[in-house]
Amino acid sequence: MTAADYLPPRLSLTALREASAGCRACPLWRTGTQTVFGEGRTRARLFLVGEQPGDREDELGRPFVGPAGRLLDEALAEAGIEREDAYLSNVVKHFKWQPRGKRRIHQKPNASEIAACRPWVEAELAVISPRILVCLGATAAQALLGRGVRVTRDRGRALESTFAPVAFATVHPSSILRAPDDESRRRERELFVDDLRVVAAALER
């Protein structure tokens, strides 16, 4: 089974969001509190996609509203992109985690969970039909741009995609938060903003 079995007959963001709330196409519906669907304007020219909701997103039911989302907001603003002008989503819509003490620690979705969930983000892409697709991190990049994409090698340059005329891959904002020290965090953040500046320039064209 995949999310394709849950797609509504007619694709609109409202119908997709409603249908996704009842998705049980993979075991993660039991782990997450709720389906965290994408959000943003239907006419967005820019589509940003991450891996899966985190702890805060799981609670609030909205993408990129936790620490990684804050970093993303700031980086977008520095690059001259308004979050309101973009559509934000994830390739996997339920939070996968393991308990550690009182905390819920993020776990990477596996290949079958990603394959099961991908029809949701593909449907969002079909409805929005963005000019530019930006994959945040290797999970999103490999799920949507192909297994051969390497974020470290391919970041910040235009890539081919069936989902948008232009696509980019860059790091996931969470990876910047995990940098081992302040200096590398500052450097990683600057490189991330540089990648987003390339996206901003492409949006201007």
Select the binding partner of residue 64 from ligand SF4, ligand URA, none (C-beta < 5 to 8 A, by kind).
ligand URA
Residue 109, C-beta contacts closer than 8 angstroms, at least 6 positions apart:
28, 51, 52, 91, 92, 96, 117, 139
Nearest distance in Å: CB 171, ligand URA? 11
Virtual CA dihedral for 20, 26, 30, 32, nearest 10 degrees? -60
Out of 32, 38, 40, 54, the residue judged to bind ligand URA by CB under 6 A: 54
* Residues between 56 and 85 that touch ligand URA (CB under 6 A): 57, 63-64, 66, 68-69
Select the binding partner of residue 25 from ligand SF4, ligand URA, none (C-beta < 5 to 8 A, by kind).
ligand SF4
Encoded one letter per residue, x for contact with ligand SF4 by CB under 6 A and - for no contact, window 56-95 reads: ------------------------------------xxx-
Out of 7, 16, 19, 23, the residue judged to bind ligand SF4 by CB under 6 A: 23
Nearest distance in Å: CB 24, ligand SF4? 5
CA–CA gap between residue 107 and residue 31 (Å, rounded): 11
CA–CA gap between residue 52 and residue 155 (Å, rounded): 20
By the rule CB under 6 A, 20 interacts with ligand URA = no
DSSP 21-83: HT--SSTHHHHSSS----EE-TT-SEEEEES---HHHHHHT-TT-SHHHHHHHHHHHHHT--G
By the rule CB under 6 A, 139 interacts with ligand SF4 = no
Select the binding partner of residue 167 from ligand URA, ligand SF4, none (C-beta < 5 to 8 A, by kind).
none
> β-pairing, 46-50 with 97-100?
unpaired
Candidate segments 44-52, 74-82, 152-160, 180-188, binder of ligand URA by CB under 6 A: 44-52
Our CB check for ligand SF4 shows the closer of 53 and 69 to be: 53
Our CB check for ligand SF4 shows the closer of 71 and 116 to be: 116
Query: How many helical (H) and strand (E) elements, i.e. helices and strands, does the chain have?
Result: 9, 7
Burial class, 201, CB count within 10 angstroms (exposed 0-12 / middle 13-18 / buried 19+): exposed
By the rule CB under 6 A, 38 interacts with ligand URA = no
N-to-C CA span, the chain? 41
Which of 47, 70, 46 lies closest to 57 in space, CA to CA?
Answer: 70
- List residues near ligand SF4 by CB under 6 A: 3, 20, 23-26, 28-29, 35, 92-94, 113, 116-117
